[in-house]
């Protein structure tokens, strides 16, 4: 391996800036100012924007560049994800402001942990060695555990953090055990070297056993992180108990980051095992879609319903992963991009209707919303239609592309399950629409739209959701172009 | 000279570990465990593994034992809580004796008379280790730094007193 050249660090500037901003935020926690909330949110947003600008200046290199002794890769694929993570984090910051000040929770550490977790995601997107991928995954996960428990005087938040921590630590252990077995079989943890060494290892008897155990454990750990059935048990409790902005963060950025490394590991390190992981992923995707949608049907708490719906959507994304074609992959990117905005918008609406940390989360709280606040009801309806996959929304094209990719690559039965479960999902998504438009409201207090940041976020997300449903082509081109060099 | 140092610290390790087991006051027991660990660190130096010695002192003596002391002092365990003979102690004695027997048979049975070469200098030397950490594995090393920062931040968030919630 070559020694590290100093100029390689120039490619790390976005990550370095973001991590430094996270540390700077910790310092602002010691200031005695009256408007600490505004200040911390402003610093975080500025840092995320600056990182995005630096990333755009850096751009996509013509050919993928592997630097820092094979630990870090700069390519179109990492570029796509990094932009998505930065956008999702920025929206999380916008959603958090009112939540923190209402509860009187300290802002400095909260935003600092958000930025550190985002830094971890950026490193995940660029990880080219199982070691650097795993460590950055831990950076993201550890920050998320605490964020989930940030309302530390609320039992539900404690429960969420504890469950997330214990199960997350367990899954990390499984993941790293799988990595160690793969290292034992092939003698390397760098993705391209692993892919090259795997066929020889599979030819040996012990090597193939080690490799099989290794990749199965690794895949289990990854399925756990993306919350696929049967590794999803932590999701409903964590999504329900965590402060809602944190739930947004987990359901969008964190989930997308886990998918980013799952795809990269499957495609760049384990192509020799493609028929095996395609079958396993197909089985998991089918179970995930069925179970996620059926469980979501029975919920009465909206956050819990959305948690199960997020499980179900992980199943849809897995359809694109298992197709193992270029079409499947850009469909995955497209879907997660659209899903991020839809989810942020949905949870943003939930946040606006919440009062005092957890009140206002049940279905009946949405009764008669159309009279109380026609704007919010319309927004929510758009997001519910998008989650179901009804045109003209981004969710429609996302699902069409995924199912089409599966059909083209011969996984027709998986696509059929996807279509059928989407039909099931219509019941619970439209259930909210029925509450909003057809039920009478219990209380007549008009919903206050007193948080401009929140309302703006929701409106932007709704516009993007609809735009993606009318003009999907630019995003499709972007997703396609970012796959150069991956396959 | 080397032999004298070895004998001195070997004896010290044995005596202090006996004190760990036999002393009634847990604080004294833990303190003498410090002596045991430092003596073992000296053994590592004698075997030509200074890095292992440093890790031994930093991790075991520095971190883990201080944790032990904190727990003992916080729980305010005074000595003499359990005198006499009970099932726990009997079980512990059996397990310890069995483990010692296992080690002895292993060393005598498998390695006795074999020409065992000691660790190579290059296996434990600092330079290759530093090179690996700060060159090949520089990026993971740096991310671990961020990870530890996140962990410290997390600990302060959880441990902060409740009335101090707003800035």
Residues of B whose CB is below 8 A from A22: 149
**Every domain of chain A and the residues it spans:** 270-487
Q: Which residues pair with A73 in a beta bridge?
A: A66
Of A3, A103, A149, the CB nearest to B135: A3
* pLDDT tens readout for residues B99-129: 999 888 877 766 666 666 666 666 667 777 8
Of B135, B156, B166, the CB nearest to A4: B135
The single-letter DSSP state of residue B112 is: T
Residues of B whose CB is below 8 A from A119: 146
Say how many CB pairs under 8 Å bridge A and B: 91
Mean pLDDT of chain B: 82
pLDDT at B165: 46
What is the pLDDT confidence band of residue B22, given thresholds at 50, 70 and 90?
confident
Q: Are A294 and A315 in contact (CB under 8 A)?
A: no
Among B137, B156, B167, the strongest candidate for a mutation testing the A interface, having the largest count of A CBs within 10 A, is B167
Q: Do A29 and B154 touch (CB under 8 A)?
A: no
Find residues 10-69 of chain A whose CB sits inside 8 Å of chain B. Answer: 19, 22-23, 26, 29, 31-33, 36-37, 68-69
Q: Which residue has the tokens 């400095």?
A: A108
Sign of the dihedral through C-alpha A478, A482, A484, A487: negative
Find residues 67-126 of chain A whose CB sits inside 8 Å of chain B. Answer: 68-69, 71-72, 103-109, 112-113, 116-117, 119-120, 123
Q: Do A69 and B166 touch (CB under 8 A)?
A: no
Q: In this complex, is the C-beta atom of B131 within 8 Å of any C-beta atom belonging to chain A?
A: no
Distance CA A449, CA A97 (A): 14
* pLDDT tens readout for residues B34-69: 899 999 999 988 887 788 888 889 888 888 888 888
Q: Which residue of B has its CA nearest to A149?
A: B158
Work out the minimum CA distance from B166 to partner chain A, whole angstroms.
5
Work out the minimum CA distance from B95 to partner chain A, whole angstroms.
28
Among A71, A130, A154, A243, the strongest candidate for a mutation testing the B interface, having the largest count of B CBs within 10 A, is A71
pLDDT at A2: 59
Work out the minimum CA distance from B128 to partner chain A, whole angstroms.
13
Q: Do B154 and A116 touch (CB under 8 A)?
A: no
Work out the minimum CA distance from A62 to partner chain B, whole angstroms.
23
Q: What is the ipTM of this complex?
A: 0.88
Q: In this complex, is the C-beta atom of B149 within 8 Å of any C-beta atom belonging to chain A?
A: yes
Q: In this complex, is the C-beta atom of B158 within 8 Å of any C-beta atom belonging to chain A?
A: yes
Q: Do A106 and B167 touch (CB under 8 A)?
A: yes
Distance CA A268, CA A119 (A): 22
What is the pLDDT confidence band of residue B162, given thresholds at 50, 70 and 90?
low
Distance CA A426, CA A387 (A): 9
Q: Are A438 and A297 in contact (CB under 8 A)?
A: no
Tell me the two tokens of residue A314: 């992980």
Among A136, A153, A179, the strongest candidate for a mutation testing the B interface, having the largest count of B CBs within 10 A, is A136
Of B139, B162, B167, the CB nearest to A71: B139
What is the pLDDT confidence band of residue B167, given thresholds at 50, 70 and 90?
very low
Residue B74 CA: distances (Å) to CA of B71, B156, B166: 5, 19, 29
Q: Please identify every stretch of chain A with a pLDDT value under 50, giving residue numbers as ranges.
A: 1
pLDDT at A5: 82
Q: Do B153 and A112 touch (CB under 8 A)?
A: yes
Of B143, B157, B162, the CB nearest to A132: B143
CB atoms within 10 A of CB A82: 27
pLDDT at A34: 64
Tell me the two tokens of residue A258: 């886990």
Q: In this complex, is the C-beta atom of A243 within 8 Å of any C-beta atom belonging to chain B?
A: no
Q: Do A152 and B146 touch (CB under 8 A)?
A: no
CA B144 from centroid of its chain's CA atoms:
22
Q: Is the pLDDT of residue B164 over 70?
A: no
CB atoms within 10 A of CB A3: 8
**B80 compared with A388, residue with greater pLDDT:** A388
Q: Which residues pair with A66 in a beta bridge?
A: A73
Distance CA A324, CA A180 (A): 25
Among A27, A73, A130, A132, the strongest candidate for a mutation testing the B interface, having the largest count of B CBs within 10 A, is A132
**Every domain of chain B and the residues it spans:** 1-82, 125-167
Q: Which residue of B has its CA nearest to A30?
A: B167
Q: Do A136 and B150 touch (CB under 8 A)?
A: no
Q: In this complex, is the C-beta atom of A142 within 8 Å of any C-beta atom belonging to chain B?
A: yes
Q: In this complex, is the C-beta atom of A140 within 8 Å of any C-beta atom belonging to chain B?
A: no
* pLDDT tens readout for residues A296-308: 998 888 889 999 9
Work out the minimum CA distance from A217 to partner chain B, whole angstroms.
22
Q: Given 3.30.70.890, 3.30.43.10, 1.20.120.1200, 2.30.40.10, which CATH number is that of B1-82? A: 1.20.120.1200
pLDDT at B88: 83
Tell me the two tokens of residue A59: 């751009």
Work out the minimum CA distance from A105 to partner chain B, whole angstroms.
5
Q: Do A153 and B162 touch (CB under 8 A)?
A: yes
Work out the minimum CA distance from A350 to partner chain B, whole angstroms.
25
What is the rounded radius of gyration, in angstroms, for the C-alpha atoms of chain A?
A: 22
Among B131, B134, B146, the strongest candidate for a mutation testing the A interface, having the largest count of A CBs within 10 A, is B146
Tell me the two tokens of residue A297: 């049907």
Residues of B whose CB is below 8 A from A105: 165-166
């Amino acid at each position: 391996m070559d020694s590290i050249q100093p100029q390689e660090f120039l490619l790390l500037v976005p990550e370095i800036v973001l991590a430094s901003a996270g540390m700077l935020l910790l310092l602002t926690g010691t200031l005695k100012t009256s408007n600490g909330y505004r200040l911390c949110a402003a610093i975080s947003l500025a840092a995320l924007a600056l990182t995005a600008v630096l990333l755009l200046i850096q751009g996509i290199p013509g050919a993928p560049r592997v630097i820092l002794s094979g630990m870090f890769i700069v390519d179109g694929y990492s570029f796509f994800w990094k932009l998505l993570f930065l956008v999702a984090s920025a929206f999380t910051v916008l959603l958090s402001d009112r939540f923190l000040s209402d509860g009187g929770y300290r802002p400095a550490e909260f935003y600092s942990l958000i930025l550190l977790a985002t830094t971890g995601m950026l490193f995940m997107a660029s990880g080219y060695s199982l070691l650097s991928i795993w460590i950055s995954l831990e950076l993201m996960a550890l920050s998320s555990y605490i964020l989930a428990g940030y309302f530390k005087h609320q039992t539900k938040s404690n429960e969420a953090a504890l469950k997330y921590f214990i199960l997350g630590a367990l899954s990390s252990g499984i993941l790293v055990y799988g990595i160690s077995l793969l290292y034992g079989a092939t003698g390397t943890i760098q993705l391209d070297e692993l892919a090259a060494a795997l066929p020889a290892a599979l030819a040996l008897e012990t090597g193939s056993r080690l490799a099989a155990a290794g990749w199965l454990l690794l895949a289990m750990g990854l399925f756990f992180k993306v919350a696929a059935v049967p590794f999803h048990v932590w999701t409903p409790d964590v999504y329900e108990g965590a402060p809602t902005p944190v739930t947004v963060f987990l359901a969008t950025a964190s989930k997308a980051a886990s998918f980013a490394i799952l795809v990269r590991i499957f495609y760049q390190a384990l192509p020799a095992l493609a028929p095996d992981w395609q079958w396993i992923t197909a089985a998991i995707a089918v179970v995930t879609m069925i179970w996620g949608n059926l469980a979501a049907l029975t919920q009465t708490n909206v956050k819990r319903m959305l948690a199960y719906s997020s499980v179900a959507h992980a199943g849809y994304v897995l359809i694109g992963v298992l197709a193992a074609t270029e079409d499947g992959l850009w469909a995955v990117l497209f879907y997660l991009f659209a899903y991020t905005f839809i989810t942020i918008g949905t949870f943003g609406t939930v946040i606006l209707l919440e009062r005092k940390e957890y009140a206002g989360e049940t279905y009946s709280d949405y009764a008669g919303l159309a009279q109380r606040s026609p704007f919010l009801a319309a927004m929510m309806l758009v997001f519910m239609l998008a989650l179901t996959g009804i045109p003209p929304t981004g969710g429609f094209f996302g699902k069409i592309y995924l199912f089409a990719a599966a059909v083209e690559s011969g996984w027709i039965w998986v696509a059929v399950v996807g279509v059928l479960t989407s039909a099931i999902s219509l019941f619970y998504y439209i259930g909210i629409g029925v509450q909003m438009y057809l039920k009478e409201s219990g209380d007549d207090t008009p919903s206050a739209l007193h948080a401009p940041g929140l309302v703006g976020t929701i409106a932007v997300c709704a516009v993007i959701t609809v735009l993606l449903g009318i003009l999907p082509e630019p995003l499709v081109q972007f997703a396609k172009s970012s796959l150069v060099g991956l396959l | 000279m080397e032999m004298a140092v070895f004998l001195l610290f070997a004896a010290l390790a044995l005596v202090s570990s006996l004190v760990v087991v036999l002393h009634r006051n847990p604080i004294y027991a833990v303190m003498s465990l410090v002596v045991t660990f430092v003596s073992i660190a000296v053994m590592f130096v004698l075997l030509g593994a200074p890095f292992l010695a440093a890790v031994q002192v930093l991790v075991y003596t520095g971190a883990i034992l201080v944790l032990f002391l904190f727990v003992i002092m916080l729980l305010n365990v005074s000595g003499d809580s359990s005198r006499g003979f009970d099932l726990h102690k009997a079980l512990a004695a059996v397990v310890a004796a069995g483990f010692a027997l296992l080690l002895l048979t292993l060393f005598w049975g498998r390695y006795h008379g074999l020409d065992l070469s000691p660790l190579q200098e290059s296996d434990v030397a600092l330079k290759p280790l530093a090179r690996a950490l700060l060159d090949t594995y520089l990026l993971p090393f740096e991310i671990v730094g961020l990870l530890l920062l996140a962990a410290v931040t997390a600990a302060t968030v959880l441990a902060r007193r409740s009335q101090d919630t707003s800035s």
